[in-house]
A and B are shown apart, each in its own frame.
Chain A
Amino acid sequence: MKISNVLNTKAPKATIKKSGMSSLGIRNTRWLSFPYILWMVGFIIIPLIVILYYGMTTNDKQFTLENISSILNPINLRALLFALRLSLISTVICLILAYPLAMILNKSKMKSNSFIVMIIILPMWMNFLLRTIAWQNILERTGIINTVLKFFNLPMLNIINTPSAIVLGMVYNFLPFMVLPIYNVLIKIDKDIVNAARDLGANSRQTLFKIILPLSLPGVISGITMVFVPSLTTFVISNILGGSKIVLIGNVIEQQFRIGNWHTGSGLSLVLMIFILISMAILSKYDKESEGSNLW
């Protein structure tokens, strides 16, 4: 109840701002969006229709559902379920690591929050494949961790080419996508609301769970989708850190395309898209007010 009141007090402010903005709508700004609309129809919508077409036809252009139902093939199904499991685990780990970090960064009163954003996306300037390969160096049997362990006469860790290595790779690569949306929401929370809760006698735990956490939910939701979808569909991380034995659904699809089996590959991609659509639906339910600005 209390929280919904808090949210309600914010709502009118937003509407005032919006009505003010529409006067900026120099009535004829609409044409500015035409290049974008054309581009998006041409290179987002139509390609999705093409993939739908390929997924539902055979080589001889006959309608079929076989490509889609090939997901029920035990190998493919196992790859999908395994990918689901690993991506869920990495999403949870990312959330646990990212939330406290975002809170600390939010509190640190850094002058420019763009600096924090930069520090977190800076690793992307080292190529993503190279960074993943560097983890091979760290985790290998003769790698850095094991060398250190050996030095202290501790038992060797055998992480490389196991599911744990893949989860580590996913967490490493996608952690920024969890930190940034949560951080972006946290800095927008009105400090007065938090202070009001404290004035009214809430202790820090209550403030966290009753005020901050619910208000930051949109950021958490976008973080979850931004980590879950790429983890679910990756084929590179499993390729590099999982060895050749572990096959995720991304690897299956990539392989289908490599051997020229485009129709099956498209059918399997359509199955993947179901999961993506579900996460998009959940996201848009929570993301209405901010209109996507929580993503970054």
Chain B
Amino acid sequence: MVKKFIERFYVGFILFFLYAPIIILIILSFNNSKSRSKWGGFTLHWYKELFKNESIMNALYTTLIIALASAFIATLIGTAAAIAINSMKKTPRTIMVAITNIPMLNADIVTGISLMLLFVAMRYTLGFTSVLISHITFNIPYVILSVMPKLKQLNPHTFEAALDLGASPVYAFFKVILPDIFPGVLTGFFLAFTMSLDDFVITHFTKGPEINTLSTKIYTEVRKGIKPEIYALSTLMFIAVLLLLIIVNRRNAERKEPIRKM
């Protein structure tokens, strides 16, 4: 009993630690004072201002486009690669996995700098495309690592059965393999999207002077003080994702959990 209480308390404590700053940011978005450290009463002013602030909306637009596009392209390349890697022999597979690990384990600052130097060496102007390419690069490994476990759980005989029954490999792939690995693909996409959205360091080095994502915009404002509109925007984004997750989770709970294949 006591042990259970301590365990609950511990989980609560860690969750509090993880979410405390978020609660503070949400509170700040309703703060009727421009200063971060003073409470000036409740207001919705910043939410109204937010939609009038063109530079923030532009940054949001860029951030979302880059996150969506990079997550989508990374999911395509990554899922295909995972299928290929999975059926490789041991040595090439080890090499591929090692290469996949590089962007995950390498420091963001080194990845960012190396990509920037590449673009500069190729005389490629830094801008939207260079950021997009960089985001795809660090997103692909997340997709591969999400899809691989699902591929390993696959029952290989179902695919063979489909082929025996006259399905073409492509048809069998879409009807047999893809539905089974789809949760992994979706997780990969979601992870990639999140990572892209949250990235600052790599964007910082590979963006040109013309474009700003939310992260880089916030960074330029750290010294002179963050505009409260940004708190409002992050609150909206956070609540949106929270609601989305709750809905997805409800759905999953209603649907019976499928029996896990070993």
Contacts and interface: CB of A to CB of B under 8 A. Distances in A.
Interface in B119-173: 121, 133-134, 136-137, 140, 142, 144-146, 148-149, 151-152, 154, 156, 159-160, 169
Nearest to B177: A24
Nearest to A235: B109
B178 interface: no
Interface residues of A, number: 96
Given A253-B113, A292-B145, A172 B234 contact: no
Give chain B's interface secondary structure class: helix
A45 B237 CA distance: 35
Interface string B11-39: 10011011111101100100000001100
Interface centre among A51, A115, A132, A225 (most CB of B within 10 A): A51
B141 to A, nearest CB: 8
B69 interface: no
Contacts, number: 271
B216 to A, nearest CB: 9
Given A119-B15, A120-B18, A124-B198, A295 B104 contact: yes
Contact of B85 (A33, A101, A105): A33
B25 A134 contact: yes
Contacts of B37: 137, 140, 142-143
A143 B81 CA distance: 49
Contacts of B194: 121, 124-125
Contacts of B146: 296
Interface in B77-134: 77-78, 80-81, 83-89, 93-94, 96-111, 113-118, 121, 133-134
Contacts of B62: none
Interface in A260-296: 262, 265-266, 269, 272-273, 276, 279-280, 283-284, 291-293, 295-296
A130 B197 CA distance: 13
B81 A35 contact: yes
Contacts of B77: 35-36, 39
Interface string A180-211: 00000000000000000000000000000000
Given A127-B215, A293-B145, A33 B15 contact: no
Nearest to B98: A284
Nearest to B159: A24
A101 B68 CA distance: 32
Interface string B55-77: 00000000000000000000001
A88 to B, nearest CB: 16
Contacts of B50: none
B137 A104 contact: no
A123 B19 contact: yes
Nearest to A144: B24
A239 interface: yes
Contacts of A144: 24
B222 A254 contact: no
B242 interface: yes
B18 A137 contact: no
A40 interface: yes
A128 B200 contact: yes
Contacts of A44: 99, 102-103, 137
Interface of A: 17, 20-26, 29-33, 35-37, 39-40, 43-48, 50-51, 54, 97, 100-101, 104-105, 107, 111-112, 114-115, 118-138, 140, 142-144, 172, 175-176, 225-226, 229-230, 232-236, 239-240, 250, 253-254, 257, 262, 265-266, 269, 272-273, 276, 279-280, 283-284, 291-293, 295-296
26 contacts: A21-B154, A24-B86, A25-B88, A26-B159, A33-B81, A33-B88, A35-B77, A36-B81, A36-B140, A44-B99, A44-B137, A47-B115, A51-B110, A101-B14, A104-B10, A119-B15, A123-B19, A124-B197, A128-B198, A130-B231, A133-B36, A233-B110, A276-B110, A284-B98, A292-B104, A296-B142
Given A21-B154, A250-B107, A250-B109, 15 more contacts: A24-B159, A25-B86, A36-B77, A39-B136, A51-B110, A51-B114, A112-B249, A124-B194, A128-B215, A233-B107, A235-B109, A257-B113, A257-B205, A283-B105, A291-B97
